[in-house]
Every structure is written in structure tokens, then in C-alpha cells.
Structure 1
Amino acid sequence: MPGMEPESDEPIPPGKPMSMEQHLLDKGAQMIQSLKPVKQMSQHVCTFALYSHDMTRQIETHHYVSRVNQDFLQCAVYDSDDSTGRLIGIEYIISDGMYESLPPEEQRLWHSHAYEIKSGLWVNPRVPEMVLRPELENIAKTYGKFWCTWQVDRGDRLPVGAPALMMSPQGVNLGMVKPEVVRKRDDKYNISTDALKNARVEIPEPEWINPQADYWKQHGKCFAIDFEPTEMKLRAPFP
């Protein structure tokens, strides 16, 4: 019926439908403006993440990756690769050498990527594994910091509340992704995570993963943001 929202399992943001004038404006701006930062996104990665404060909540994530240089990548993270995908967060990815230069209190906020790669959870949809092999070997040695700004999995129709720190799956009893979640992803892309795992056996393991990363594994502690009133300052605090 007119005025009723379409039936969907997904949390749909409130708001009016796009007007024809807005469509024309967006198309015109797209033709005129350069959008250079967006055009630097060169990879689409599908993987999984868990909330640091509640690892029973597991989400499929779609990272659109820009490589700043060989040691630093930045990702816009969406909940799907559909045209209606919602921007749910950002992840920064750095090399092991860059990670080692961080102070210990900062290192605790990052997660390692070796398990995601070796287990086949990290995939570049529709890109042949042979083409990806050098990139996979590089990513296996990296660390990521992922902030989720829109918790759509709990039904939020808007990005509300504080950002949530996300963690990477780390295997059995260490943030393992539920099989049905992986199966749903595999069916969509016609892939087999188990087959990818077997194909990646020869990807070298990092010689050493800093124990400050994946901090929850060693200490059973997580990090969460909350809001509190504070006095206004002229300058933001610097680490």
C-alpha cells in the first residue's frame, strides 16, 4: 500500500525516497567532479568481523581498499556489495614493521590478519587465487584497526551510539565464525572457504605475531568507547 515501507529483514534508514531532482543533481555532480579519493579504491575484500565487546555477534564485511603505499591501506567498510550497501565503518591496515613502531597501548587496539588469510575467510570475490597470491602473502603479515560506526546487525536504522572496536576471527574457540555465516557467503560467490584454506597451505605464516595484537586472546579484555561530558579544550589531546 502507498506510504508503507517495503518488507525487508534489513534495517532501512528512515527518510523520504530520492526525488528526480536529487537524482539529476547527483548525476551531474558525478560527471563534473573528480571524486579522486573514491577512485583510488582498487580492491573489494569480503571477510568477517566480531565485536570486541561481544564476540557472539559476527558480521560479514565488505572492504573497499585504497593502497596509500606498500605499508598502509585504508578501507571503507560496507555491510554488502549491493548498490544499497551501507557504510558501516572504516579499517586501517598497516605492515608488521609499521605496527612494531606503535606504542604498546595503541597496539592493543589492532588485530592480526594471518588467520583470516590462511583459513580462507578473506577473499577478493571473482579474482583468481593465482593472481591474488602475492597480495595474500603480504596481507598475512599485516595488522588492522577496524571501527564499526553503524551496528546494522542489531537492527539500527541509523548509525547511533559510539563506534565499536572490531576484532578478527582467530580460530576454534577464539572468535570462530559460525559455519552458517560462512556458508551463506560462499553460496553467494560460488566459492568454498575450505578449498581456499587448502589452497593457501603454502602461504608462509608470519615469523612472529606481536602478542599485543588480538589483545583479548591473551588477557580476556576488550576495549570499548563510551561518551562522557568533558570541559571544552582549545586543542585536542595528542597521544
Structure 2
Amino acid sequence: MASSDESPGLMPPGDGSVPPGKTMTVGQHIIDKGAQLMQSLKPIKQMSQHVCTFASYSHDMTRQISTHHYVSRLNQDFLQCAVYDSDDSNGRLIGVEYIISDRIFETLPPEEQKLWHSHGYEITSGLWVNPRVPEMIQKPELRDLARSYGKFWCTWQVDRGDRVPLGAPALMMSPQGVNVGMVDLVEKRDNKYNISCEEMKKSRIDIEIPEMTNSYADYWMQTGKGFAIDVENTDMKLRAPFP
């Protein structure tokens, strides 16, 4: 069993809904607010979008989670996302996803492409949404995103009940047409934001998805094989001593 698929052992006390630890003091709140006023926090301020969608574990497709991506764009072909388990103020940072255009993806070697998933189905099926943003405003970017690919590493398996980030990161996959069992998650999401996945699907029927003829993305669909990360001891590379 790979490390990213191991069940957690003994964990700190608590029910898993929040990390273990004491409530923040007034003094700590003051320190944080002061730092926020004095520091630039430039990378954080570049986050311009909130996306709610879904993901499955590459090593266990029966485990599916709702995700909240906070997106910043480095250029027209490259986005990076901090991924949380909710959009609440106490949302837990559970991973990171990198998103690249098809132009960049096609330059990657096959072994690397296998770690990426396509976004076409996720977009056209209405699973990918920008909460509270009108469909007509986000439609132009959705056309580009339907041709993009993502690599999503989950570092905190909160759905498993992990109270702190445990073990190795897990590679995540995008929902595809053969997936089942996500009905409850979608209904809960749609009710929260007063939207309809089915209506979005209809409105996106004209969005084109690239043919996957020479792509190794969504590798599990082609082979039935996923990926799991293992952790093993290794000899360290050491710096040479100063003369």
C-alpha cells in the first residue's frame, strides 16, 4: 500500500472538523491584523477568481470531494490555485492545482502528461462554476479552460477524517463522463449557490472540447490505473564542506 493510500493511525484529539489547537487570542488577532496592514501580500492579492468544482483521488476513484479553488493567473497560459475544502473563513488549505493551456501541455513528455487531467468535461457538464458570477460573464474564459489541463496535489485528506495533514500528497483527478456517485455533492453545491448544474450544462453546449487523440491526460480512463505516492528512506545529498 502506497503512503498516500494508507489509513491514518493515531491522531490528535478532536472530531476532524477543525485542526487541533487553542482558540486564537486577542493578542494574536492584533498581531495578524497589524502584519496584514504593513505587509504587501502580493501573491495572495493576485487571486482573482473563486471556482467550485469536484475531484477524485487517483488511487481511489470512489472517494470524491468538493473543492474550492482560489485562482491567480501568471499569464494567459498558466494559472495556479490554492485549493480549500470550503469557502468559509476557516476553510482548510487541502492542496494546490496548476493549470496550463493545451499549448503548454502538448510540449510535455508522455510520462508527465499522465499526471495531468483534462478540464473539458468538467466545464461542459456544469460541474465547474464560478459562484455568484453570471454565466455570460465567465463564458469566454470557460471556452479557454475547456482546452486546459490541471495537475492537482491534495496534501490534506480531510474527507478521510485527517485532523492534520498526514502522509504523502495524493494526486487528484477531474470528474469525467464515466464517473458516478457525485450526485449528492453536486446537489449540495447547487443548493448552496442557488444554481443548476443541468442548466449550466445546457448553456455550455456550444463550448468545444479538444480531441484527445495523442494525449496521455486522464491516464486512468485509458488504462484503469491510478497513481499513488510512496515515501521511502534515501541517502541525503550533502553540501561539500567549506575548505
Under a length normalisation based on structure 2, what TM-score does the superposition of the two structures give? Answer: 0.90
The question of whether the paired residues in 2 share the 8 Å contact of 1:170 and 1:176 is answered with: no
Residue type matched to 1:53 in 2? H
Deviation, structure 1 residue 205: 2.1
- Using a 3 Å threshold, how does the CA distance of structure 1 residues 111 and 225 change in structure 2: closer, same or farther? same
1:187 pairs, out of 169, 179, 191, with 191
Deviation, structure 1 residue 229: 0.3
Moved over 3 A (4+): 207-211
Deviation, structure 1 residue 211: 3.3
Q: Which has the higher contact order (CA 8 A, sep 6+)?
A: 2
Query: Separation in 2 of the partners of 1:177 and 1:90?
Result: 24
Please, which runs of 5 or more residues in structure 2 have no aligned partner?
A: 1-13
* Corresponding residue of 1:54: 60
Percent identical across equivalent pairs? 71
Q: Which string of whole-angstrom CA distances, capped at 9 and with x for unpartnered residues, describes residues 110-142 of structure 1? A: 000000000000000000110011100000000
Q: Which string of whole-angstrom CA distances, capped at 9 and with x for unpartnered residues, describes residues 132-172 of structure 1? A: 1110000000000000000000111000100000000001x
**Size of the alignment, in residue pairs?**
226
1:1-239 pair list within 5 angstroms: 11-171=17-177, 174-208=178-212, 210-234=214-238
Query: Separation in 2 of the partners of 1:116 and 1:225?
Result: 25
Describe the SS at the equivalent of 1:135: helix
The question of whether the paired residues in 2 share the 8 Å contact of 1:168 and 1:175 is answered with: no
Query: Separation in 1 of the partners of 2:16 and 2:53?
Result: 19
Residue type matched to 2:231 in 1? F
- Using a 3 Å threshold, how does the CA distance of structure 1 residues 41 and 220 change in structure 2: closer, same or farther? same
Deviation, structure 1 residue 180: 1.1
Q: Which string of whole-angstrom CA distances, capped at 9 and with x for unpartnered residues, describes residues 49-91 of structure 1? A: 0000111110000000000000000000000000010000000
Query: Separation in 1 of the partners of 2:16 and 2:126?
Result: 27
Under a length normalisation based on structure 1, what TM-score does the superposition of the two structures give? Answer: 0.91
Query: Separation in 2 of the partners of 1:111 and 1:15?
Result: 36
- Using a 3 Å threshold, how does the CA distance of structure 1 residues 48 and 10 change in structure 2: closer, same or farther? same
Describe the SS at the equivalent of 1:159: coil
Deviation, structure 1 residue 176: 3.2
- Using a 3 Å threshold, how does the CA distance of structure 1 residues 167 and 36 change in structure 2: closer, same or farther? same
Residue type matched to 2:63 in 1? R
Q: Which string of whole-angstrom CA distances, capped at 9 and with x for unpartnered residues, describes residues 98-119 of structure 1? A: 0011111110000000000000
CA RMSD of aligned residues (A): 1.4
